[in-house]
Amino acid sequence: MSGLFSAYSWSKVWGARAGFLMGLGNTVLTAVFGILLALVLGLVFGLMGTSNKRILKAVNRVYVEFIQNTPVLLQLCFIYYALAFSGHSIGIIPAGITALGIYTGAYMSEVFRAGIQSIPKGQFEAARSQGFTYFEEMYYIILPQTMKIILPPMVNQVVNLIKNTSCLYIIGGSDLISITYSFVTGEKTGGAYGPAYILCGAVFFVICYPLSKLASTWELRLKRREAATVKTAAAKAA
C-alpha cells in the first residue's frame, strides 16, 4: 500500500504535470462552452414549454423526454462516431461540447420552464395590459423574477455537466480523466495510479464543491426569504 502513495509515485505525477494541466484545460474548455450551449438550449426550449402553442410544447416534450431518458454516453458516441463515419468528423472536444450541451440543455429547459410557471399569472396579465410583446414581457418582467428561483437548480446542472466531461474518455478525449488514465497505464508512468487518481479527484472536488455549496446556500436563503414573506403577510392580515 505504501508504494501507491510513495514519494517516488508523487514525483512521477509531478513530472507529468504539463499533461495534467493540458487535460484540465480541455475539461474546463469543454465545460464552459457546454454550459453556454446548455443555457441557450435550456432557455429556448424552456420558453417553448411555457408557450400557448401546442406544437411548441410538443417539440419541448420530445426533446426533453428523449434526451433525459437516454444515456449521455450513447448521445456522445452517436454524435462523434456517426459524424465520423459519415465523413463529417468534428473532433473530440467539439463533439463533447455538443453532446454535453444538448444533454444538460434538456435539464436546463425544465429548470427554466418551472421557474417561468412559478411566476403568478397576474404578472403576465399586467405586462400584456401595458402593451408588452411576448419577448418584452419575458425579457423585462418574467425572466428577471425567475432568476432567484432557478439559480440553485441551474448551478446543480452546471456541476453535473462538469463531472460529465469525464465521458470524453470513452471517445479517446484529452480531458483530465483521459489524461489520468493514459498516465496510470503508461509504460513509463504505470504504477503511480494512487497519486494520479487522488490528484484528478481533488481537482474535480475543488471545482465542483464550491459550486454545490453555492447552490445549497442560495436555495436555503430563498426558502428563508419565502418563509419571512409569508410570515409578514400573515401578520399584516391579522
Into how many domains does the chain fold?
A: 1
pLDDT (average), residues 142-157: 84
* Cα(211)–Cα(207) distance, integer angstroms: 7
Q: Does residue 55 form part of some domain?
A: yes
21 located within any domain: yes
Give CA separation, 62 vs 33, 137, 175, in Å.
Answer: 24, 26, 31
Q: Does 194 reside within a domain?
A: yes
State the pLDDT confidence band at 1, using cuts at 50, 70 and 90. very low
- Residue 1 falls within a domain, yes or no? no
pLDDT tens digits, one per residue of 113-144? 988 888 888 777 777 787 777 777 887 788 88
- Kindly report the number of other CB atoms within 10 A of residue 224's CB atom: 10
CATH assignment at residue 196: 1.10.3720.10
Q: Which domain holds residue 164?
A: 7-237
Query: What percent of the chain lies above the pLDDT cut of 70?
Result: 89
Work out the average pLDDT over 203-216: 88
Of 17-21, 58-62, 220-224, minimum mean pLDDT range = 220-224
Q: 189 or 155: which carries more pLDDT confidence?
A: 155
| pLDDT for 107 | 95
What confidence tens digit (pLDDT) does each residue in 4-29 have?
Answer: 667 777 788 888 888 889 999 999 99
* 2: pLDDT strictly greater than 50: no
Residue at 41 is within a domain: yes
Q: Does 100 have pLDDT greater than 80?
A: yes
- Look at residue 150 and give its three-state secondary structure: helix
pLDDT band per the 50, 70, 90 thresholds, residue 235: low
Q: Would you place residue 238 in the very low, low, confident or very high pLDDT band (cuts 50, 70, 90)?
A: low
Among the listed ranges 66-80, 125-139, 148-162, which one has the minimum average pLDDT value?
125-139
Residues comprising the chain, all counted: 238
Using N-to-C axis directions, what is the helix angle for 17-49 and 143-164, rounded to 10°?
140
pLDDT for residue 237 is more than 50: yes
Mean of pLDDT values over 179-184: 86
